[in-house]
Structure formats: C-alpha cells, structure tokens
C-alpha cells in the first residue's frame, strides 16, 4: 500500500470513529454560521446541482436541499459511517443523495455540478492536485468551488492543531490557496474571512486546542474562517 493509500485509510478510520462518537453534530454546531453565510453567497436560484464534499452527517447538504426545490444536492464522504448517518438523517429529503468516496476519484460525469462546497475538509486530502483536477472535471463551465477552512496559516491559533490530530494535514496560507487553484486555471471569485455572527458566551466556553482561555477563544473567532471561492471557465 502506497503512502497516499495509507493516508486515505487513516482518514476513513478516523472519521468512522468521529461518526461513532457523534462528532458530526459537533461539526454542524461549530461551523454552522460560516457555512450558512457561504451558502447565501452562492445565490442559488433553486434549480442547480450542488456537491457537498466531506459532507459528514449531511447537515450542510440538507440546508442546501431546502434552497433547491427544482435542483439536487449530493454529499460525499470517505467515511462509510458518516454517509450511513447522513442517509438516516435525510430520508425525508427527496432531493439529496449521499455517496461514500474519496475526493481524488469522483464518481460523477464531467460538467455535473453548478457549485461544489467543501467545509473543513480540503486540508485533509493527502495529494491536493488530483483533487483540484477532479473538482474542475465535474464542475460545469462557470461553476464555482467554495472552500471554507478554519485551519490556515494566518490564524496562529489553528496552527496548534496539526500536532494533535491523528492524521496529517496541510497547513496552507491565503496565498497558497489562491495558487493551488490558479495553477489549475481557476479564476479567483472571492477570498475573504467569514466571521461567525453568533454571540460568544463565556459561561459555555471550554478550553480547546490553541485557546486555553476565553480571551484566546475570542481572538481566534475574530480571525474568522477563510473562504476561497474559485470559478471554472471553459
């Protein structure tokens, strides 16, 4: 088994464990507002086809589905247990489907999707270039890839995470995110920080990686999530 395959197996096992531990709901709560803001920026007309990469238990896909009365959303994840949970939670959502797959060999035809959303998954992929190639292949001309990450170099609080994670991750900065996509002939649609609009409650604060105090946590949240949205042409 090669290095990439071992890494993918690690990811599958790690996120299966996350599913068993109920951490999909923690992801939903932690990234809810930034994801909702990103979905709003998509300006969906209601008839689009959208892919949610690294969908976890399907929480973002279900929100997207509400905005697509004549469209379709598909969620993918490398974890079979996350996908099983997504399907179980989405039985009443007729315009959502879920598939277990990695990101470097997407099981879709060329030019399938108007939008692709990726929330807190991109930095896990062991080899980014084939993933970007696949994103380009399955996007329609003019389609947009929306990448949201909390782990990026300009946020020093997040730079404590890699040594604590059980799988390797990429620690990229804003410029590196732009370069990954522009060298694959994407055009930058927007790059900005998204700030969680929810008020912070010191009574509910729990110390975490890189944020041992509430003041640290406030500073971390003030830096926001990094959104890089890129458009495909041709």
CATH code of residue 144: 3.40.50.150
Mean pLDDT of 100-110: 96
Question: What's the whole-number average pLDDT of the chain?
Answer: 94
- Alpha-carbon span 74 to 77, nearest angstrom: 10
Q: What's the CA gap between 200 and 143, in Å, rounded?
A: 35
Strand partners, 146: 117, 229
Confidence of residue 48 (pLDDT cuts 50, 70, 90): very high
Q: Assess whether pLDDT exceeds 80 at residue 212.
A: yes
Instruction: Tell me the pLDDT tens digit for each residue of 65-97.
Output: 999 999 999 999 999 999 999 999 999 999 999
- Residue 166's pLDDT band (boundaries 50, 70, 90)? confident
pLDDT at 51 over 90: yes
pLDDT tops 60 at residue 157 = yes
Question: Model's pTM, two decimal places?
Answer: 0.95
Provide the pLDDT confidence category of residue 7 given band limits of 50, 70 and 90: confident
Q: How many domains does the chain have?
A: 1
Residue 1 has pLDDT above 80, yes or no: no
Range of weakest confidence among 1-15, 62-76, 146-160, 207-221: 1-15
Residue 141: closest CA among 110, 118, 172, 120:
110
Quick one: 79 exposed, middle or buried, by C-beta within 10 A (0-12, 13-18, 19+)? buried
Q: Does residue 145 surpass a pLDDT of 80?
A: yes
What is the model's pLDDT at position 202? 94
Min mean pLDDT across 3-17, 29-43, 101-115 is at: 3-17
Residue 53 has pLDDT above 60, yes or no: yes
Structural domain for 65, as ranges: 3-232
For the chain, the C-alpha Rg in angstroms (whole number) is 17
pLDDT for 139 equals: 98
Instruction: Kindly tell me the burial class for residue 232, based on how many C-beta atoms sit within 10 Å of its own C-beta (0-12, 13-18, 19 or more).
Output: buried
Does the pLDDT of residue 108 top 80, yes or no? Answer: yes
pLDDT bracket for residue 219 (50, 70, 90): very high
């Amino acid at each position: 088994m090669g290095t990439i395959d071992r890494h993918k197996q690690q990811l599958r096992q790690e996120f299966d464990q996350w599913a068993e531990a109920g951490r999909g709901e923690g992801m939903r709560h932690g990234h809810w507002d930034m994801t909702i803001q990103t979905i709003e920026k998509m300006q969906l007309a209601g008839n689009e086809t959208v892919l949610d990469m690294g969908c976890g238990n399907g929480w973002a896909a279900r929100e997207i589905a509400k905005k697509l009365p004549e469209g379709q959303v598909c969620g993918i994840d490398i974890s079979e247990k996350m996908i099983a949970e997504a399907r179980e939670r989405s039985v009443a959502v007729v315009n959502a489907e879920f598939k277990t797959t990695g990101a470097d060999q997407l099981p879709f035809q060329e030019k399938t999707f108007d939008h692709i959303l990726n929330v807190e998954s991109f930095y896990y992929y062991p080899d980014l270039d084939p993933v970007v190639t696949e994103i380009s292949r399955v996007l329609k001309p003019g389609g947009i890839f929306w990448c949201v990450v909390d782990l990026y170099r300009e946020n020093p609080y997040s730079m404590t995470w890699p040594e604590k994670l059980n799988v390797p991750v990429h620690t990229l900065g804003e410029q590196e995110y732009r370069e990954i996509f522009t060298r694959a002939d994407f055009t930058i649609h927007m790059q900005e920080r998204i700030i969680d609009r929810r008020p912070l409650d010191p009574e509910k604060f729990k110390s975490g990686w890189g944020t041992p105090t509430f003041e640290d946590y406030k500073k971390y949240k003030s830096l926001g999530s990094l959104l890089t949205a890129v458009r495909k042409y041709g």
